[in-house]
Structure 1
Amino acid sequence: MTPINQDWNYAMAQGKQNNPEDKKLLIRLPKELHQKLRLLAFELNVSMAELCREGLELILQKHQKRK
């Protein structure tokens, strides 16, 4: 099985445990960025997904203020 298929299968398995109204986003990160995000998540005691969600929400809010 290729790494992409492994990632997809893992994401789909995790998604089945979540709220069916939630949508999923699978992103690929450069190795260095992934390591930094993982370390930050560990230091803050939150999930990497939560960091990504909060970051995306901030970007959307900032973009909406410009309009």
Structure 2
Amino acid sequence: PSVIVSLWAVSDAPTSELMQAFYQNLQKNPNKAQALRQAMLATMKTHSNPRNWAAFTLIGEAD
């Protein structure tokens, strides 16, 4: 089991964008850590400030 958590409050728009990208990436690659990394990189393109994407972390199993 695993969970994605945010270490601080993040606005709804970047959170929604990141989570949509995460689940799209997860369909292509079952490694949750890689899917989250790719989602963070995608979110950085539209929300460059780290407060909008760096708060998210995976706790638990990556596979």
Greater RCO between the two (CA within 8 Å, min separation 6)?
2
Please indicate, yes or no, whether the TM-score normalized by the shorter chain is above 0.5: no
Rg larger in 1 or in 2?
1
Name the structure with the higher strand share: 2
**Class of the TM-score when normalised by the shorter of the 2 chains:** 0.3 to 0.5
Instruction: Give the alignment's TM-score, normalised by structure 2.
Output: 0.33
Name the structure with the higher helix share: 1
